[in-house]
Homo-oligomer: A and B are copies of this chain.
Amino acid sequence: MTISSRGAATIEEVAAVAGVSRSTVSRVVNGSTAVSAEAREAVQEAIARLNYVPNRAARSLASSVTLAIALVVPEDTTRFFGDPFFAAIVSGINSVIRDSDYVLNLLIASDDAGEKMTSYVRGGNVDGAIIVSHHTSDTFIDRIAAAVPVVYGGRPVRERPNDYYIDVDNRAGAADATAHLIAKGRRNIATITGPLTMPAGVDRLDGFHDAMNDAGLTPVGTADGNFTANGGATAMREILDTGVRPDAIFVASDLMARGAMSVLQSSGLRVPEDVAIVGFDDSPVATGVVPQLTTMRQPSFSQGRAMAATLLQILGGEEPTHATIMSTELIDRDSA
């Protein structure tokens, strides 16, 4: 299945039909202003007639621009696809990319330690990269960032002055969530955290501590739920197994909260009567559990859009804001 066998029109043929030179066709395709109205019209007509689509390989070769962006997923596939948070992020990214000339190359880190991924990016195959999550162990990220412009989802692990990233104020959000629990009269509060190898995990734990300290309270339990539903369930059991029974828990993601709630409920504990829960994300799972989850909303779709928009700006030669921090909002439902 070669290109020519499908008989795709070339710029040369368009030029012939329009009665102009290749250069002129190229100019109108690329939106140059220096083209007469008649010429432009003739070219556009020829393009439509021949159903012309520029060959991106040729364009890339001639201009050293690939019009491709790497969507780097340094994440276990199950985690990535299992969390509605990422769904919203990618959806946002896609909504911006779709309206541009760029395409997304899906690069999943998986178990190859990023070797092939790195050489792909460094081999000049993409113009930039969007890195949707980031762990301390992801050392290959640095090599990617050294090769092409990068936008991170969330504060990068080792922040550098010139990094671009989109984040929410995780620390403030977590503090707000915890404060809500305290305001409800709860005093024996535990937390289920994300992985502490991720900035989001650390920041939300810090926010939890901020609010607890402000209230003069000491956490009655802390467990890592790995940002997954199963991890949240395991963490919940861990906390229960210590013998203390918290009357409230700040859970750093909705997915983990779902896991925790099912353990609570099958232990005969009522939510929120016995144990109040506040989650984080306000993803679809928040309204899919019973009782519906009180949670911190983060604008995931907008975050995705902002990530893509920022990268496009960089690639367009602009100088966007380096750190965009969006804010979170408490969504008060029934679990706390």
A residues with a Cβ closer than 8 A to B are: 1-4, 6, 8, 53-58, 60-61, 64-66, 68, 71, 77-78, 80-84, 86-88, 90-91, 94-95, 98, 103-108, 110, 112, 116, 119-120, 122-125, 127-128, 147-149, 229-230, 233, 259, 262, 266, 284-285, 287-290, 315
Q: Is the CB of B8 within 8 A of A55?
A: no
A213 → B minimal CB distance (Å)? 34
Which of B66, B81, B86, B125 is within 8 Å of A90, CB to CB?
B81
Cα of A262 to Cα of B54 in the assembled complex, Å = 52
Q: In the complex, what distance in Å separates the CA atom of A90 from the CA atom of B288?
A: 25
Contacts of A123 in B (CB 8 A): 8, 53-56
A7: shortest Cβ distance to chain B, in Å? 10
Expressed in whole angstroms, the Cα–Cα distance for A80 and B88 within the complex equals 11
Q: Show 23 A/B contacts (Cβ-Cβ < 8 Å), sorted by A.
A: A1-B128, A1-B148, A1-B149, A53-B123, A55-B123, A56-B123, A56-B125, A57-B58, A57-B66, A77-B87, A77-B94, A78-B91, A78-B284, A81-B81, A81-B86, A81-B90, A91-B108, A98-B112, A103-B106, A103-B107, A104-B105, A105-B105, A105-B106
CB distance from A208 to the nearest CB of B (A): 25
The CA of A316 and the CA of B290, in the complex, are separated in Å by: 51
Contact B230 A259 (CB under 8 A): no
Determine how many copies of this chain the complex contains: 2
Residues of chain B within 8 A of A95, CB atoms compared: 110
Are B81's CB and A8's CB within 8 A?
A: no
Known: A8-B123, A55-B61, A124-B8. A78 touches B82 (CB 8 A): no
**A57, B60: Cβ atoms closer than 8 Å:** yes
Residue from the list B2, B112, B128, B229 in contact with A288, Cβ < 8 A: B229
Q: Is the CB of A82 within 8 A of B77?
A: no
Nearest-neighbor residue (CB-CB) of A258 within chain B: B288
Given A149-B1, A262-B290: A82 and B84 interface contact (C-beta under 8 Å): yes
Q: Which residues of B contact A65 (CB under 8 A)?
A: 2
Other than A3-B64, A78-B284, A262-B289, give 15 A-B pairs with Cβ distance below 8 A. Answer: A1-B127, A1-B128, A6-B124, A8-B123, A53-B119, A53-B123, A54-B123, A55-B61, A77-B91, A78-B84, A81-B91, A90-B108, A98-B112, A103-B105, A230-B287
B103 to A104, Cβ gap below 8 A?
Answer: no
Contact of A53 among B53, B60, B104, B124 (CB under 8 A): B124
- A49 CB → nearest B CB, Å: 15
**B94 near A87: Cβ-Cβ < 8 Å:** no
Q: Are A84 and B87 in contact (CB under 8 A)?
A: no
Asked if B105 and A64 make an inter-chain contact with CB atoms under 8 angstroms apart, the answer reads no
Taking a contact as CB atoms under 8 Å apart, the answer to whether A84 and B84 are in contact is no
Contact B147 A64 (CB under 8 A): no
Contacts A56-B125, A82-B87, A288-B233 given; indicate if A106 touches B71 (C-beta within 8 A). Answer: yes
